[in-house]
């Protein structure tokens, strides 16, 4: 099968998942064409059956912003025609599903029909909760897709609550490629971070307000008051400076490391003892799943799809959004002794294995086949 994948080439969950999905499909013998404005971070080396098509926008004095949507639609049409794609898989309703509909209409005038699968990742849906002006376009784009998937049952329900959806939405969870994410022996690395055997706490995000990184620091402060520990903050974003200021105010500078964006995040997770994810909104919780794949238990909020990943009292604990006291108590329980920590580690790994790419990838392949079969005679 020849598949076009359209995504944001970022470190965020949707870009990572789209890239890993494409690489997995290529290993299964499919021909995969990435269509985006920059090479995705995890597409850094040559891969058989993988092709990259850059969308370049032109600056014109007439436009305040370059017309990216128009350039993307044109590139989609070009790649579908000349690479003879069987299907387009777009990640995010805005703008990718909308642009894919335009490309599909153009191709139809040339006697070519290409079905479109849209995967909803969360922000494209919750955005409408904050700005109703986007609702008509998002709803139209979802309903005009040939197939729609959501990364959690929570997101599927939320989508149906926000919009008048005329089609089924298939839940296909995010996944882990255990060739990348697995516990490894990094004792020398761990000693460099925690030379006196301190517990290592970790958080990774894009440092937006919705991630509530301040709660991470406040939870860590309470942990550190009871047990020697270090905090690794991975990622970058608009809240980073405020978090650096908070650490200075709380006199935690020597215990907290701001590591910025990291490609090999698995190496840091491999030496960690606990992961904190206090977000007020998470469609799935991919960062938590990556930690669990490295045998790291999770302290999280109960937002969105996180409870579908982090199992209360088994792989970690769930708390109400903003309840840093409860999160700290739960964290200290897990870290109280090595036996308890090991029990949570084992459960976290077992849960993560349910999301292995070898289990999830065939679900996408089957769905592609269903969409192709159903759209053979379809007319817009």
Instruction: Read off the CATH number of the domain in which 309 is found.
Output: 3.40.50.2000
Structural domain contains residue 288: yes
pLDDT, position 380: 46
Q: In terms of domains, do 319 and 363 share one?
A: no
pLDDT, position 43: 81
Structural domain contains residue 100: yes
Spell out the per-residue pLDDT of the chain, length 380, in tens: 999 999 988 756 788 899 999 999 999 999 999 999 888 877 877 889 999 999 986 666 655 556 788 999 999 999 999 999 999 999 988 889 999 999 999 999 999 999 999 999 987 787 665 577 888 888 999 999 999 999 999 999 999 988 999 889 999 999 998 887 766 666 777 888 988 999 999 999 999 999 999 999 999 999 999 999 999 999 999 999 999 999 999 999 999 999 998 877 888 999 999 999 999 999 999 999 999 999 999 999 999 999 999 999 999 999 999 999 999 999 999 999 999 999 999 999 999 999 999 999 999 999 999 999 988 755 44
- 279's tokens: 């977000």
Domain extent for 52: 2-175+357-375
Are the beta carbons of 309 and 288 closer than 8 angstroms?
yes
Structural domain contains residue 43: yes
Q: In terms of domains, do 361 and 342 share one?
A: no
Q: In terms of domains, do 210 and 311 share one?
A: yes
Looking at the structure of the chain, the number of domains it has is: 2
Q: In terms of domains, do 203 and 312 share one?
A: yes
CA distance linking residue 376 with residue 185, whole number of Å: 51
Structural domain contains residue 346: yes
Q: In terms of domains, do 199 and 342 share one?
A: yes
Q: In terms of domains, do 132 and 235 share one?
A: no
Q: In terms of domains, do 134 and 202 share one?
A: no
Structural domain contains residue 275: yes
Q: In terms of domains, do 132 and 48 share one?
A: yes
CA distances to 12, 92, 353, 370 from 25, in Å:
20, 19, 19, 16
CA distance linking residue 243 with residue 209, whole number of Å: 11
Q: In terms of domains, do 335 and 296 share one?
A: yes
Q: In terms of domains, do 58 and 204 share one?
A: no
Structural domain contains residue 44: yes
Q: In terms of domains, do 149 and 261 share one?
A: no
Q: In terms of domains, do 133 and 259 share one?
A: no
Nearest to 227 by CA among 270, 194, 191: 194
Q: Cα-Cα-Cα-Cα dihedral of 91, 71, 33, 149, to 10°?
A: 20
Structural domain contains residue 180: no
CA distance linking residue 28 with residue 44, whole number of Å: 19
Structural domain contains residue 181: no
Q: Which residue has the tokens 């307000």?
A: 209
CA distances to 205, 209, 284 from 281, in Å:
12, 10, 9
């Amino acid at each position: 099968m020849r598949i076009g994948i359209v995504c944001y080439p970022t470190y965020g969950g949707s870009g990572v998942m789209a890239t890993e999905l494409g690489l997995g499909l290529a290993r299964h013998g499919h021909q995969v064409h990435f269509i985006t404005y920059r090479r995705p971070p995890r597409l850094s080396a040559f891969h058989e059956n993988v092709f990259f098509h850059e969308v370049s926008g032109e600056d014109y004095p007439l436009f305040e912003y370059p017309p990216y949507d128009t350039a993307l639609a044109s590139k989609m049409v070009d790649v579908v025609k000349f690479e003879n794609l069987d299907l387009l898989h777009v990640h995010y309703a805005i703008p990718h599903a909308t642009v894919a509909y335009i490309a599909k209409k153009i191709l139809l005038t040339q006697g070519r029909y290409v079905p479109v699968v849209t995967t909803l990742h969360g922000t494209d849906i919750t955005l409408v909760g904050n700005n109703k002006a986007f609702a008509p376009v998002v709803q139209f784009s979802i309903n005009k897709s040939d197939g729609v998937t959501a990364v959690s049952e929570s997101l599927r329900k939320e989508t149906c609550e926000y919009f008048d959806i005329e089609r089924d939405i298939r839940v296909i969870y995010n996944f882990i490629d255990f060739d990348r994410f697995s516990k490894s022996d990094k004792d020398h690395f761990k000693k460099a971070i925690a030379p006196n055997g301190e517990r290592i706490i970790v958080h990774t995000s894009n440092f937006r307000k919705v991630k509530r990184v301040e709660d991470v620091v406040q939870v860590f402060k309470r942990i550190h008051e009871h047990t020697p520990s270090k905090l690794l903050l991975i990622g970058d974003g608009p809240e980073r400076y405020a978090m650096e200021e908070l650490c200075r105010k709380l006199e935690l500078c020597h215990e907290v490391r701001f590591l910025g964006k990291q490609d090999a995040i698995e190496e840091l997770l491999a030496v960690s003892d606990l992961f904190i994810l206090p977000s007020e909104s998470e469609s799935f919780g991919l960062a938590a799943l990556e930690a669990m794949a490295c045998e790291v238990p999770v302290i999280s909020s109960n937002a969105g799809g996180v409870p579908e990943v982090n199992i209360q009292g088994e792989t970690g604990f769930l708390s109400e959004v903003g309840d840093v006291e409860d999160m700290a108590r739960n964290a200290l329980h897990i870290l109280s002794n090595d036996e308890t920590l090991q029990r949570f580690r084992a459960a976290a790994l077992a849960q993560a294995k349910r999301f292995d790419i070898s289990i999830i990838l065939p679900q996408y392949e089957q769905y592609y086949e269903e969409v192709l079969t159903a759209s053979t005679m379809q007319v817009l």
